[in-house]
């Protein structure tokens, strides 16, 4: 068997079918097929998309606040006029159409619109982060199912060997060749192995249920998965840290979201500083009236100027709150940037460590294969009575090789996600 694990032992390759209701039929589910379903409408992604739509709606509303407004107005009214105007009658009905448009509000609407644009940008980055999280979740849970199957194969082999030895010692104890203590010791080893098998079997079912949820198919458990070759993940190298640091600062969805919210708070502070400025509005009115008066002409046009003079301290309070919110956003942006860069550095360092683990796991696998070949030869020559230990150790080595390779793949996926790169169905 080669060190890359391509010639996996048949017990490992034959994944256990759980027989769960609604299990997927053959062929086995591939990693590509699983990643292709990462955009399925799960609740987490639906929430992020809904928040993005809300932010875009607020952006549109802010942009429309300086737009043309058209209002219709109808009135039916009867009055008792003064005696001097008695000749006009008691009916005072009106039907009006008013067109108005703010011409200038001191820049308040522009600042509010800028804040809405930045909030929409922040929601977009949150949505991107949710999509990245979904892909990573599918990847992680797919690997978890494969490792659970490999763990079960290893534990089941160990239990089988432990039972054979326990049974053999028990038979010899009946012949007076073994003591009761030796029987108890062998049984204890078997029971511990048996317990490990049941735990591994439970993890098989639980990991499949988690994967089904990630694929938005709860209860529809995949019976078999195609095992990704461990070596296929190890060809990629991370490169220099300085390149990744710059990529994370520039492309991290978390950092970009915090940056957008910081810019939104700056725009809100600017708007709060413009609240004392006047507002100019143009209006055109046309109407029909039952009562004649100088003000009730067929049309009228004009400009209006409103100037806030006193707010009872409300403006000062709003500006103080805006300054505090800006300070909080600045601190949050700095904290997120530090956290993301540090987490990316730890992932980058972990990749190098996992490469060393990979070399060790390959060497151990080659050694365990050699030991199995040697044990098989001794078994055929009737020097040994079984191949138990060699088989179990080979299963353990195969499990470790996959665990290291999948850990490397997940670490790479996290690092790329922090740099804003979205996993696709062709990954890696």
What letter does residue 286 receive in the DSSP assignment? Answer: E
When mean pLDDT is compared over 163-172, 255-264, 283-292, 386-395, the highest value belongs to 255-264
Maximum Cα interatomic distance, the chain, rounded to a whole number of Å: 134
Pick the closest to residue 118 from 246, 249, 271, 247 (CA basis).
Answer: 271
Taking 50 as the threshold, does the pLDDT of residue 12 lie above it?
Answer: no
Q: What pLDDT is recorded for position 151? A: 96
In the structure encoding, which two tokens stand for residue 140, read together? 């992680």
Pick the closest to residue 278 from 308, 303, 313, 316 (CA basis).
Answer: 308
In the structure encoding, which two tokens stand for residue 387, read together? 């191949």
When mean pLDDT is compared over 58-72, 248-262, 286-300, the highest value belongs to 248-262
For the chain, what is the domain count?
A: 1
Q: What is the distance between the alpha carbons of residues 104 and 109, in angstroms, rounded to a whole number?
A: 9
Pick the closest to residue 281 from 417, 104, 89 (CA basis).
Answer: 104
Q: What pLDDT is recorded for position 20? A: 38
pLDDT in tens, 37-52: 988 888 888 999 999 9
**Pairing mode, strands 94-104 and 299-306:** unpaired
Pick the closest to residue 149 from 230, 205, 209, 228 (CA basis).
Answer: 205
Q: Is residue 283 part of a domain?
A: no
Residue pair 96/285 in contact (Cβ under 8 Å)? The answer is yes
pLDDT band at 386 (very low <50, low <70, confident <90, very high): low
The reported pTM is 0.81
Q: Is residue 345 part of a domain?
A: yes
Q: Is residue 296 part of a domain?
A: no
Q: Is residue 427 part of a domain?
A: no
Q: Is residue 86 part of a domain?
A: no
CATH code for the domain of 14: 1.20.1600.10
When mean pLDDT is compared over 265-274, 302-311, 335-344, the highest value belongs to 335-344
Residue pair 99/284 in contact (Cβ under 8 Å)? The answer is yes
Residue 28's domain comprises: 10-66+105-275+311-418
Q: What pLDDT is recorded for position 381? A: 64
Q: What percent of the chain has pLDDT over 90?
A: 55
Q: Is residue 284 part of a domain?
A: no
Q: Is residue 5 part of a domain?
A: no
Q: What pLDDT is recorded for position 26? A: 58
Q: Is residue 214 part of a domain?
A: yes
Residue reference for tokens 């609240």: 275
Q: Average per-residue pLDDT in the chain? A: 87
Residue pair 45/130 in contact (Cβ under 8 Å)? The answer is yes
DSSP-assigned beta bridge partners for residue 282:
101, 303
In the structure encoding, which two tokens stand for residue 303, read together? 């400009």
């Amino acid at each position: 068997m080669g060190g890359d694990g391509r010639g996996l032992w048949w017990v490992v390759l034959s994944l256990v079918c759980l027989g769960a209701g609604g299990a997927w039929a053959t062929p086995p589910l591939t990693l590509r097929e699983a990643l292709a379903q990462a955009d399925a409408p799960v609740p987490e992604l639906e929430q992020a998309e809904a928040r993005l739509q809300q932010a875009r709606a607020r952006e549109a509303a802010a942009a429309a606040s300086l737009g043309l407004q058209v209002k219709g107005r109808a009135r039916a009214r009867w009055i008792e006029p003064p005696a001097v105007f008695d000749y006009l009658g008691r009916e005072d009905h009106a039907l009006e159409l008013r067109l108005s448009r703010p011409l200038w509000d001191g820049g308040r609407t522009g600042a509010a619109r800028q804040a809405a644009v930045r909030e929409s940008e922040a929601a977009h980055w949150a949505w991107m982060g949710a999509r990245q999280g979904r892909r990573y979740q599918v990847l992680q849970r797919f690997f978890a199912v494969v490792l659970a199957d490999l763990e079960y194969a290893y534990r089941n082999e160990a239990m089988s060997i432990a039972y054979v030895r326990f049974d053999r010692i028990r038979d010899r104890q009946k012949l007076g060749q073994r003591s009761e203590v030796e029987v108890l010791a062998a049984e204890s080893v078997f029971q511990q192995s048996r317990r490990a098998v049941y735990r591994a079997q439970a993890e098989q079912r639980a990991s499949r249920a988690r994967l089904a949820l990630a694929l938005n198919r709860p209860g529809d458990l995949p019976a078999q998965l195609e095992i990704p070759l461990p070596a296929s993940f190890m060809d990629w190298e991370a490169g220099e840290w300085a390149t990744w640091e710059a990529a994370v600062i520039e492309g991290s969805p978390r950092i970009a979201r915090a940056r957008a919210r910081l810019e939104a708070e700056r725009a809100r502070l600017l708007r709060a500083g413009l609240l004392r400025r006047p507002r100019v509005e143009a209006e055109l009115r046309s109407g029909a009236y039952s009562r004649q008066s100088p003000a009730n002409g067929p049309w009228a046009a004009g400009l209006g100027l409103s100037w806030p003079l006193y707010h009872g301290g409300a403006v000062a309070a709003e500006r103080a709150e805006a300054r505090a919110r800006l300070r909080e956003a600045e601190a949050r942006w700095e904290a997120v940037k530090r956290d993301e860069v540090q987490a990316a550095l730890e992932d980058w360092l972990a990749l190098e460590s996992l490469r060393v683990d990979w070399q060790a796991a390959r060497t151990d696998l080659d050694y365990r294969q050699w030991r199995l070949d040697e044990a098989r030869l001794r078994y055929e020559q009737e020097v040994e009575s079984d191949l138990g230990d060699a088989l179990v150790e080979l299963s353990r080595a195969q499990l470790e090789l996959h665990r290291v390779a999948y850990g490397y793949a997940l670490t790479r996926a996290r690092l790329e996600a922090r740099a804003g790169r979205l996993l696709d169905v062709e990954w890696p």
